Amino acid sequence: MTDAADLLDIARPLAIEAGELIEAMRDSVDLSGDTKSSSVDVVTAADRAAEAFIVDRLSVLRPDDGVLGEEGAGSEGTSGVRWIIDPIDGTTNYVYSVPSYGVSIAAEVDADLALGVVSEPVFNRCYSARVGGGAFKNGEPISVNTDPSVETALVATGFGYLAERRRRQAEVLVDLLPQVRDIRRFGSAALDLCYLAEGLVDAYYERGLHAWDLAAGAVIASEAGATVGDLRGNAAGEHFTLAAHPALFEALRAILAGLEADDCP
Ligand code: IPD
């Protein structure tokens, strides 16, 4: 069974329950936790527990599927379905109790993204979409803001964990900021894409995302009417992700390509 609607029925409660799990663990988190790619890239016991919870549940419900998780889960599977899991996207916010963090679960069918769910436990929000089925927040349809101009666009972005990448990302921002309404840095790529999908911001871009940061939010943003891609006419990915209403996407793509925003460590 690889029907995206059925898979979404599995993913939605999983993301919500994993969100409840990380909320239950939040009081025991401290700022001196482990780090990963750099000294500022934090990982907590809650990241590991939430990933284990999701992977364990999937291994019972969908034993033949593959998984890819931020905290190390990885298996090939034989069914053609692969789950892509970020147990806490926005871990820095989580350890500081800043609300924008969530659980992100996507599924590919035969290597194509088919669905995504992002739960935002502090606010009891759950964003979801499957390809061709529209995007929803707590069951209500959502859509991107239509046709904002660059000058009036509220643009979300994010920064990687490596110092050299951040230096270059800041240089791009220096040139972009005077051209748009303002910039937001919420601290969770998955939620940036969901906020775009419901019109809280007009656009989102970032260099350096991993598949688990991007996959679920990309389906939700596209199903809400955004174009999601890189700066050179290809699919979004680690090299670059830009998402916005199609007209704004093209205008921002030209500006960011001119700034060589994807030419970055
Ligand atoms: C990070 C967040 C952040 C983005 C980083 C991601 P994590 O994910 O999505 O907003 O700027 O690029 O790595 O580490 O919190 O799962």
Q: Is 125 exposed, middle or buried (0-12, 13-18, 19+ CB in 10 A)?
A: middle
Amino acid 31: pLDDT = 67
Low-confidence residues of the chain, pLDDT below 70? 31-32
In 3D space, the residue among 132, 216, 154, 214 whose CA is nearest the CA of residue 230 turns out to be 214
Q: Is 161 exposed, middle or buried (0-12, 13-18, 19+ CB in 10 A)?
A: middle
**168-196 per-position pLDDT tens digit:** 999 999 999 999 999 999 999 999 999 99
Backbone angle region of 208, left / alpha / beta, with phi > 0 → left and psi within -120 to 50 → alpha: left
* Distance between CA atoms of residues 249 and 219, nearest Å: 16
Amino acid 26: pLDDT = 87
The total number of residues shown for the chain amounts to 265
Whether 70 sits among the annotated catalytic residues: the reply is: yes
Whether 91 sits among the annotated catalytic residues: the reply is: yes
Question: Ligand 1 pocket, 213 CB below 6 A?
Answer: yes
* Distance between CA atoms of residues 6 and 116, nearest Å: 12
Question: Ligand 1 pocket, 44 CB below 6 A?
Answer: no
Supply the angle between the helices 189-198 and 211-223 in degrees, to the nearest 10. Answer: 0
Write the DSSP string, 96-133.
Answer: HT-S--EEEEEEEETTEEEEEEEEEGGGTEEEEEETTS
Question: Ligand 1 pocket, 93 CB below 6 A?
Answer: no
**140-165 per-position pLDDT tens digit:** 999 999 978 999 999 999 999 999 99
Supply the residue whose CA is at minimum distance from atom 5 of ligand 1: 160
Whether 198 sits among the annotated catalytic residues: the reply is: no
Amino acid 35: pLDDT = 77
- Centroid of ligand 1 to alpha carbon of 96 (angstroms): 14
Amino acid 16: pLDDT = 98
Query: Does residue 66 contact residue 211 with C-beta atoms inside 8 Å?
Result: no
Does the pTM exceed 0.85? Answer: yes
Amino acid 44: pLDDT = 83
Query: What atom of ligand 1 comes closest to residue 93's alpha carbon?
Result: 15
- Centroid of ligand 1 to alpha carbon of 204 (angstroms): 13
